[in-house]
Amino acid sequence: MKITPTHKSGLIAGAIACGLILGATSPVMAENEALIDAMEGYVMFADYQGATIRPEQIPAEQWEQMTVVDTRDAGQYAEDHIPGAINIEWRQILERRDKLPRDEMVLVYCNTGTLSAQAGLILRLAGMDNVRILQDGFTGFKAAGGFEANARAQEESQEAAE
3-state secondary structure 9-48: HHHHHHHHHHHHHHCCCCHHHHCCHHHHHHHHHHHHHCCC
More confident residue, 44 or 83: 83
Q: How far apart are CA 148 and CA 162, in angstroms?
A: 21
- Return the SS3 of 108: strand
Q: What is the pLDDT of residues 117-142, one digit of tens each?
A: 999 988 988 888 899 999 999 999 99
Alpha helices in 47-148 (DSSP H): 74-79, 114-125, 137-144
How high does pLDDT run on average in the chain? 81
Using alpha carbons, select from 93, 83, 146 the residue that is nearest to residue 120: 93
Most confident residue range from 27-31, 75-79, 149-153 = 75-79
Q: What is the pLDDT of residues 3-13, one digit of tens each?
A: 444 444 444 44
Angle of helix 149-161 relative to helix 137-144, nearest 10 degrees, comes to: 50
Fold topology of 52-161 = Oxidized Rhodanese; domain 1 (3.40.250)
The structural domains of the chain, with segments of one domain joined by +, span 5-45, 52-161
pTM beyond 0.75 = no
